[in-house]
Amino acid sequence: MTKSYQEIRQKLRGSICPVITPFKANHEIDFEKQSELIEFQLANGTHGISVTGTSGEPSSLTTEERVQVMENAMKTVNGRVPFAPGTGSVNHDETMYLTKKAEEMGADAAMVIVPYYNKPNQLALYKHFKTVADSVEIPIIIYNIPGRTAQNMEVSTMARLVKDCPNIVGVKEANKDFEHVNRVMLNCGRDFLLYSGIELLCYPMLAIGGAGSISATANVEPRKVADMHNAWEQGDIKKAQDLHYELMNLNDVLFKDTNPAPSKAALGMMGKINPTLRLPMDLPSKELQDEIRETLKQYNIETPNTI
């Protein structure tokens, strides 16, 4: 293992926020707001930044827009915390292109999703990820989210990739099968970076040796999400558990519609963004928006704006 891979195993831990992509009312990307959101994260203790993952609406962006979002985020972060953008796509060549772009701009790692919609078999998944990993030296984090890709990367496939590709250093598991994630750690190695992408499993995954979480909830309540990880690292198990349960109501309401629609609605209420999504995505129903607003008030989060 090279020094850089050892370093990333130490650096890329805790709450890595998958920052949403803000749009203006005319649906153009609002880069100024994106920078403000990243500053909001860093001011509230977030340990790392990611963009253009699920929360960043990558399917609604052109390839070049994804590069622009990555570049603006990289410039804003400016080395203050690790930066790991999402570079995966349903298209193999696009994934290769975006991952190389992430490497060229100096990102700390690239997060590559299991391709969605086309449901490749396990051998095809192996070939896809190995080809991408072999084409770059940047550390790769697999993004396994079977609820949105309709395909689960099996533990045996992941373990084979980790064995054959030194730069595959971790996985974001948005996987409700907790037996699966335990077996990931057993078969990929205890130093493999396991991140939770399921909000209610962020704390439990720490207990089995996880490195942290990449949680959409951090967009709205970054301080509490970061503090849960801080408490765990400091050995304050009671505080970490308390924060886990304290966040549950917010986690629940932010996933009553497809991510990132509820988070964007919440950030709009908070006055952080113009709460715009590109079709085919749209804001939640008025009823859910009312519930989101009431939940934010329960967390003493100011909601000066109506949407």
Contact present, 195 and 173 (Cβ < 8 Å)? yes
User: Which one from 33, 101, 126, 143 is the annotated catalytic residue?
Assistant: 143
Give the C-alpha separation, 143 to 114, whole Å.
6
CA 73/CA 242 separation, integer angstroms: 32
User: What is the DSSP code string of 51-101?
Assistant: -SSGGG-GGGS-HHHHHHHHHHHHHHHTTSS-B--B---SSHHHHHHHHHH
Extract the tokens encoding 65.
Answer: 């827009």
Active-site annotation holds for 143: yes
What is the CB neighbour count within 10 angstroms for residue 187? Answer: 15
Q: Dig out the tokens for 171 from the structure.
A: 């996985």
Instruction: Name the packing angle between helices 122-134 and 155-164 (round to 10°).
Output: 30
Please tell me which residue in 172, 224, 264, 272 is annotated as part of the active site.
172
Structure tokens at 205: 């995954």
Cα–Cα distances in angstroms (integers) from residue 235 to residues 206, 224, 227, 238, in the given order: 12, 16, 12, 9
Q: Which amino acid is at 232?
A: W
Whether residue 13 contacts residue 42, with contact meaning beta carbons closer than 8 Å, is answered with no
Rounded to an integer, what distance in angstroms lies between the CA atom of residue 242 and that of residue 214?
Answer: 19
The C-alpha angle 108, 113, 114, rounded to 5 degrees, equals 145
Catalytic site residue 24?
no
H or E segment and range at residue 17: strand 14-18
Please identify every residue annotated as catalytic: 143, 172
